Structure 1
Amino acid sequence: MARNRRLILSPPSTVWDLLADGHRYHEWVTGTQRILGADAHWPQVGAQLRVRVGAGPLTLDDICTVRICEPHRRLELEARAEPFGAARIAMQLVPWGENTLFLLEWHPLRGPGTRMHGLPVDYVASVRNGMMLTKLARIAVREHRGALPRP
């Protein structure tokens, strides 16, 4: 399992707003080229987000399904990219003063990733997820600052 954490210098409500907008995942999820569609009831349990992932001409269509949703606190997705199987992506937002401690876990559920699970795969996932959290933090901070009243 790959685990990452990041202190985001904005409140959980700002971070949650980004998670709750399926059409914005391409802005911060590393490897996402574009959003193909998001269910209108995203991020409610059962809602799906269809994305194209990859690098350059090597692409793959992925479906993320919401498995657990506790608004402003927790979002768990099952990301499925055939023929590579599926993974659990668990995101938790912990209030930390006026900021957010964002906890992210990635764990393969089905497919080749379960057999290759271990140090090399977890390391690559951890690096990717670290880049993703850096992007998410930048966007959340920018949006939080933009929402603050001007003196």
Structure 2
Amino acid sequence: MIEVRRRLGATPGQVDAVLADGWTYGLWVVGAVHIREVSEDWPKPGARIRHSIGAWPLMIEDRTYVEEYEPGRLLQLRAHAGPAGTARVRLEWEPDGDGSTVRMSEDAIAGPGRLVPPPVRAPLLRLRNGESLARLAAIARGRPEQPDQA
């Protein structure tokens, strides 16, 4: 898995609130441009987001599924990217002073993306996911703390 890490000026609860709202996916995930549907049970395992990736008029309709979710700590996704294949994306966040630190790991698990050598795909994923975490930080800072769902 290729990992990026970022300290966010948002609490773990604020980070969780963004990630637990599937409709924000297109705001923080670089490449996802249009959300068409979010399962009512998002972010429970098995829930999905139907989205488009790319730029008009060359958009690909695709989907992302939740594999694992631990409120306030972890979200693991299986993201389909059309002809490029499928990736596993894991986000883990923890308290860090008055904010939080988020680790985002991603790598190809199926399709042609696996044929790209890791030394070639790693820098591209680091750039893309670094920008995704910057967007996540900006959105999370603007969201109120969510009460515990337990």
TM-score, scaled relative to structure 1 = 0.91
Q: What number of residue pairs does the alignment pair up?
A: 146
Q: What residue is the counterpart of 2:14 in the other structure?
A: 14
1:91 corresponds to: 91
1:37: Cα distance to partner?
0.4
Partner of 2:44: 44
Name the SS for the 2:36 alignment partner.
strand
Structure 1 residue ranges without an equivalent (≥5): none
Query: Is contact 2:17–2:143 with CA below 8 Å preserved after alignment?
Result: no
Q: After superposition, where does 1:50-65 map in structure 2 within 5 Å?
A: 50-65=50-65
Instruction: Give the Cα separation in 2 of the matches to 1:37 and 1:117.
Output: 33
What pairs with 1:2-151 in structure 2 (closer than 5 Å)? 2-144=2-144
Cα contact 2:53–2:81 (8 A) shared by 1: no
Paired residue type of 2:124: V
Query: Residue deviations 1:30-58, cap 9 Å, x none?
Result: 11111010000000000001110102422
Distance in 2 between residues matched to 1:5 and 1:117, nearest whole Å:
22
Offset of residue 60 of structure 1 = 1.0
1:108 touches 1:117 (CA, 8 Å); kept in 2?
no
Please give the alpha-carbon distance, in whole angstroms, between the structure 2 residues aligned to 1:39 and 1:95. 28
Q: Deviations over 1:101-135 (max 9, x none)?
A: 00000010001111113112111111011111111
Which secondary structure state, in structure 2, belongs to the residue aligned with residue 41 of structure 1?
A: coil
User: Sequence identity, in percent?
Assistant: 34
Tell me the CA shift for residue 99 of structure 1.
Answer: 1.0
CA distance in 1, matches of 2:2, 2:19: 20
Q: Alpha carbon RMSD of aligned pairs, Å?
A: 1.6
Matches of 1:56 and 1:127 in 2, distance apart?
22
Measure the CA separation in 2 of the matches of 1:65 and 1:117: 25
Q: Show CA shifts across 1:36-86 (max 9, x none).
A: 100000000000011101024221112111001111100000001232211
The answer for unaligned runs of 5 or more in structure 2 is none
Q: 1:2 Cα shift?
A: 2.2
TM-score normalised by L of structure 2? 0.91
